Structure 1
Amino acid sequence: MAADLNAFITEESIEGADAGPLADATVAVKDNISTAGVETTCGSRMLEGYVPPYDATVVERLTDAGATIVGKANMDEFGMGTTTETSQFGPTRNPVDPDRVPGGSSGGSAAAVAAGEADLALGTDTGGSVRCPAAFCGVVGIKPTYGLVSRYGLIAYANSLEQIGPIAGTVEDAAALLDVIASPDPHDATTREAGADANYAAAADGDVDGMTIGVVPELFEGAHEGVVETVRAAIDDLEAQGAETVEVSLPSVEHAVQAYYVIATSEASSNLARFDGVRYGHSAGHDGNWNETFAETRSEGFGEEVKRRILLGTYALSAGYHDKYYKKAQDARAWVRSDFDDAFADVDVIASPTMPVLPFELGEGIDDPMTMYLADANTTPVNLANLPAISIPAGTAEGLPVGLQLIGPQFGEETIVRAASAVEE
């Protein structure tokens, strides 16, 4: 099955400790997370053959907890995509319908869990890249609060936005994986003490009696009719279990996608400048002209979507355009954060569809970047505000999975896990 779905780039076993909370679990690790002695490519020709000399902190924590890593999961190249079709190793297929995409960029991770090729998986979420494939594949995905999980050993796309997060078949299993990987790390100065003592798996008790859930009309606008109906039904079920729902407005989210892509591509253009063919990775060869070698290396090594985002980011940061684009995007980011702060003064969690659309057919949107970018409308605001969110299966529409997204305040993972477990029950 794994070969049919193309869920893995590298299938290789990394054994964990003999005992621990994950001693019986197999885990797929997204291929932008460093594994000592095992090739880590980011789904790119640029890093084909690159073998890291060290483990990412999350990988160390997995093996210390007894987990067995079964392979490096396929992904959109350098995390840039919504469908796992930009991978230089071919697209991953959705286990629910192999003619459709699994979502991205952590599509291989979600597909591996949905197909039973791994019990658990790690993905990374820069603008929805854990929650999108979780929704499309009918599994659970958590994007933690920025700073809860170490990014040491993660090959960066956009440092201020991305977090490593768990994917699993159930809320409790995803929360148990979060328990293992969440805590401060001296190698990553962005990690925080907040949330380190929480017990996320224990929070999956399904008790939403008295919880207030905010419903945001802006995050339902333009969504597929079947998605809206399915998500509304899941919210109604939470009300039947004792939760209260109120309407809250987040006017800033209308601008979130634009702000996200300016900030993310700007950070990407800086981060990916290190891939020059000199120190590691693909090289076009050395003929004595460094500029030509540099240009040819990057032209050969990067795919079309990565080149597009590097160019967009370089343009946004260039002299004369920094204030016009990048500064305005940061102002919009502050507005998004402020709107969420106001909303969480009145509600415990915020509910929306994870994705406003059903899984695309393979090839349907890969040549239409704008459609792909707009599909991230409901997930990108969470990353801009550095908040936690979970995608939980809400049901199906037209026979395809639909995800419900539950967003919490900073370090409110226990609350969103509790609400999500009620949906599951």
Structure 2
Amino acid sequence: MSVFSLDPSHGNPSLQKQWISYYVPPVDEERFPRENIHFPEKADNSHGAWAWKCSIVDKKAKGGKLQGKTFALKDNIAVKGVPMLLGTNFIKGLVPDCDATVTTRILNAGGKISGKSVCENMCQSATSHSSATGVVENPFAKGYSAGGSSSGSGVLVALGEVDGAIGADQGGSIRVPAANCGIVGLKPTFGLVPYTGSGSNEPTNDHLGPMTRTVLDNAVLLEAISGNDNIDDRSFAAPAPSKVPAYSSVKDLPADKPLKGKKFAVIIESLSTPGRDPRVTKSFKLAVSRFVELGATVEEVSIPIHSKGAAIWTGVSKGGGFLAKTSGSFGRRGHQMLGLNSLIHPMGQENWDNAYSATKNVYLNGLYAVENFPLLLAKATNLSRQLRDAYDAALEEYDILLTPTLPYVATSHAAPDATPLEQIAKQIGLTSNTAPFNQSGHPALALPIGMLEVLEGPGVEDGVKLPVSMQIIGKWWDEMAVYEAGFLWERSNDWKQM
């Protein structure tokens, strides 16, 4: 009934009775056969971005939005029969027995799934040196971070090895690698893309989204994967798939002053984040000025709580992430990945010995918070609502909000023998402008806007340049406005020359 390579009961007779009614959602493997499943050879994995390779296409395909295009899925997304590594040795031997909703939708739309992209260790690093399979190299310069935790997805798209990829974003994990890799990455409105069949850290942070080389490709992919799936309760407020807006219609926008009448605003607090490189602020302001040339008015708006957004996110992600790992997400409608759950809990000494420092951080911080600040999670949850209300108030006056995506360009990898603090130091302040929107749920697009020379690492003497990115934020369910702004900016500018 299950194709787990590991009995969910772990051979324990006292547990086996609990699995008698274990339900496995069916997968049509005759129509969507899993072929050429293999771990990639080093020669076929130049940047360490492939976690596993395969070939899955619809044998009865009759066209579709994604016909002829190839895709990679972040390795926390289930593909039946294809091992899921989650970038870690914390758990081992997981082979999913079902397909995630996004997996099915890509295949139904005519797309080809070429494999799984490396996920940073348990989705808990914003840099790309944490995966158990090794570092994932920046596509512009080896020795530098590709961002995380959807590192492999960003690299494979940037290198052109796939046409698009799906990332998972719980604090910036789509937008950080999109920014570091010079591609387009969208964290959609919370629930627009069902999370069914995907590994979670904390369910109120969960977002799946498209990663592509252009805004138009991103819009097409979002059309294919979005809409309520009647399984994941996070998606219940989303439109039915048949009623998802035609986001790709942005291609038909006029050339002359297409943003006339639109009001954009830069969030002032986003320009003073920890670790900020003033050169990034300068590049961002130049990019924003181009919206004026397209007809929009651009002002500044103060949203004081934005500067506390990352701290609010921490209160939820650490406490909630700890509880989710030790007892499983409760009070939710959806599909539980029981095989994954059984490998995480109860945790044994071998799990702990193989845990990455960020995973230990979640457990230790989460346990400390639960025992010493039992109301922290509830308070942070309510502050998340206050955060959303503050952005909503600004979006009543403005069509779009703007921030730099990241405060600095990609850093060099931590040394192989780096201490936990040295590893974490590589990402201080990195998600200050991304994590708040995981808590508020607003759609946020990372768009490349320029290149800057590195300040440290192996490429300093050679004048290596790495991408800079702008974040475009819209109202809940208004991905169309976000895509319009991104598409028009992209159409009018050559970011690699800025």
Do both proteins adopt the same fold according to a TM-score greater than 0.5, normalized to the shorter chain?
yes
Contact kept? 1:6, 1:91, Cα under 8 Å: yes
Contact kept? 1:262, 1:312, Cα under 8 Å: no
Structure 1's 328 and 271: CA in aligned 2 closer, same or farther, altered over 3 A? closer
* 1:317 alignment partner in structure 2: 370
Q: Does 1:96 align with 2:140?
A: yes
* CA distance, structure 1, for counterparts of residue 251 and residue 437 of structure 2: 22
State the SS of the aligned residue for 1:123. strand
* CA distance, structure 2, for counterparts of residue 213 and residue 53 of structure 1: 46
Cα-Cα RMSD: 2.2
1:372 maps to a residue whose letter is: Q
* 1:421 alignment partner in structure 2: 487
* CA distance, structure 2, for counterparts of residue 50 and residue 208 of structure 1: 49
Instruction: Map 1:328-407; keep pairs closer than 5 Å.
Output: 328-363=379-414, 367-369=422-424, 372-398=427-453, 399-407=465-473
* 2:250 alignment partner in structure 1: 203
Contact kept? 2:165, 2:211, Cα under 8 Å: yes
Query: May I ask how many residue pairs the two structures share in their alignment?
Result: 413
For structure 1, the residue ranges without an aligned partner over 5 or more in a row are 285-289
Q: Does 1:232 align with 2:291?
A: no
State the SS of the aligned residue for 2:246. coil
Contact kept? 1:257, 1:373, Cα under 8 Å: no
* 2:46 alignment partner in structure 1: 4
State the SS of the aligned residue for 2:234. coil
State the SS of the aligned residue for 2:396. coil
* CA distance, structure 2, for counterparts of residue 77 and residue 28 of structure 1: 18
* CA distance, structure 1, for counterparts of residue 189 and residue 340 of structure 2: 32
Q: Does 1:149 align with 2:193?
A: yes
Contact kept? 1:348, 1:408, Cα under 8 Å: yes
Contact kept? 1:262, 1:326, Cα under 8 Å: yes
1:166 maps to a residue whose letter is: P
Sequence identity (%): 30
State the SS of the aligned residue for 2:46. helix
* CA distance, structure 2, for counterparts of residue 373 and residue 312 of structure 1: 17
Q: 2:317 aligns with which of 239, 264, 281?
A: 264
* CA distance, structure 2, for counterparts of residue 92 and residue 205 of structure 1: 37
* 1:107 alignment partner in structure 2: 151
TM-score w.r.t. the length of structure 2 is 0.79
* CA distance, structure 2, for counterparts of residue 300 and residue 380 of structure 1: 29
**Structure exhibiting the larger radius of gyration computed from Cα positions:** 2
* 1:21 alignment partner in structure 2: 65
Shift of 1:171: 0.2
Deviations 1:358-412 (A, max 9, x none): 0011117972525525210000111110110101111112221011100001011
* CA distance, structure 1, for counterparts of residue 87 and residue 470 of structure 2: 28
For structure 2, the residue ranges without an aligned partner over 5 or more in a row are 1-42, 329-337, 454-464, 492-498
* CA distance, structure 2, for counterparts of residue 180 and residue 310 of structure 1: 36
Deviations 1:215-253 (A, max 9, x none): 111101142122111111111111111011111111002
* CA distance, structure 1, for counterparts of residue 380 and residue 324 of structure 2: 19
Contact kept? 1:394, 1:423, Cα under 8 Å: no
Greater RCO (Cα-Cα under 8 Å, separation 6 or more) = 1
State the SS of the aligned residue for 2:284. helix
* CA distance, structure 1, for counterparts of residue 393 and residue 467 of structure 2: 32
State the SS of the aligned residue for 1:45. coil
Contact kept? 1:263, 1:313, Cα under 8 Å: no
Deviations 1:332-375 (A, max 9, x none): 32221121011011100101110111001111797252552521
Instruction: Map 1:44-59; keep pairs closer than 5 Å.
Output: 44-59=88-103
TM-score w.r.t. the length of structure 1 is 0.92
